[in-house]
Amino acid sequence: MQVFTYPQISQEESRKLYDKSYYDSWGIECDESVREMKKCTFALKLNGLEKIISPGRILDVGCATGFFLEVASERGWDAYGVEINPFAVKEVRKQFADRVYEGTIEDAPFDPQSLDAVVMSDVLEHVTDPLATLCRVNELLRNRGLAAITTPNIGGITARVFGKRWPHLKPEHQFYFTPQTVSYLLGKAGFHVVSSRPALKALSLNYIYAQRNVSRVPLLTAFVTALRNVLPPSLLQKPLYFLAGEMFVIARKKPVADPR
């Protein structure tokens, strides 16, 4: 099952969404613990990759303010980023300078077959042509390089429970996938799936509160608000691990035959 938004917002309208206010739902300006929380999630993704390949040259597509790049660099990866949001690019360049390209992966100036891994966390659902984007990822990867994708699972239990109030239903999300449709697209783009599982994510109660006050889900927002009023700050900031309705898929580029 592949689900898409209709009518889809234009590329120009989509770009207007990605400014400083896009990160209001992170609550990062009033809670510095968000950095460590995000880094816990990205460490899980790298754990999955490092079970298959050793650290090499990696690209984070949609790198936001650079938390994945921080974790990857700390673990010995040669890390680069692509980001469409000008505010985020300005922030991440304070640490990673010319390693971050402002724009999309389609026009990013990386050489073909120059990367060992490409990570796309909460990105594939935003693009206007998912197959074209995955083909571009394939082009940039070396033979047997890895693509790691995190995206909402429209066929998962949280989507069924919340229905029209599912938190992942957003105007900027153009497409929604199941594990089967992601696998199908990856196959069309020249990959085979190595692993596919629900995506575990580190979230603090403060972060969930900030998210649900920007994109409200009545019962969930009320529940988290009540907890926030009675729990101590140390617990509100502590990263907790949840399955939040997303899937984490790792796929390997199929070997390209040597033409000689």
Mean pLDDT value across residues 30-49:
88
Determine the Cα–Cα distance for residues 121 and 130; give it in Å rounded to an integer: 14
Q: Output the average pLDDT for the chain.
A: 86
Question: What pLDDT, on a 0 to 100 scale, did the predictor assign at position 235?
Answer: 73
* 24, 27, 60 from 114: Cα distances, Å: 35, 36, 14
**198 has which bridge partners?**
247
Please give the pLDDT value at position 192: 97
| Per-residue tokens: 6 | 């209709």
Higher pLDDT, 128 or 150: 150
Q: CB–CB of 33/186 below 8 Å?
A: no
pTM summary value: 0.85
Question: Which of 217-230 are b and which e, b meaning 16 or more Cβ less than 10 Å from the residue's Cβ?
Answer: eeebbeebeeeeee
Write the pLDDT tens digit of every residue in 175-231: 999 999 999 999 999 999 999 999 999 988 777 777 655 555 566 667 667 777 777
> In the numeric block, which tokens belong to residue 88?
């985020």
Task: Say which residues have a Cβ less than 8 Å from residue 9's Cβ, sequence separation at least 6.
Answer: 171, 172, 174
For 64-120, what is each residue's pLDDT tens digit? 999 999 999 999 999 999 999 999 999 999 999 999 999 999 999 999 999 999 999
Q: Which is nearest to 120 in space by CA: 96, 95, 141, 93?
A: 141
DSSP string for 191-229 = EEEEEEEEEEEEE-HHHHHHHHHHS--HHHHHHHHHHHH
3-state secondary structure of 179: helix
Range of 1-10, 54-63, 169-178, 223-232 with top mean pLDDT = 54-63
Domain edges within the chain: 3-203+241-253
- In this prediction, residue 260 carries a pLDDT of 43
Query: What phi and psi, each to the nearest 5 degrees, are found at residue 153?
Result: -105, 100
Which of these, 40, 43, 73, lies nearest to 55 by C-alpha position? 73
- Residue 172, class by beta-carbon neighbours within 10 Å (0-12 exposed, 13-18 middle, 19+ buried)? middle
Considering Cα of 178, then 183, then 184, then 189, what sign does the dihedral take? positive
35 vs 179, which has greater pLDDT?
A: 179
Residue 44, pLDDT > 70, answer: yes
| Alpha-helical segments (H) within 51-156 | 67-74, 86-96, 130-140
Peptide bond into 179 cis (omega under 30): no
CATH of domain 3-203+241-253: 3.40.50.150
Q: Give dist(CA 206, CA 33) in Å, integer.
A: 9
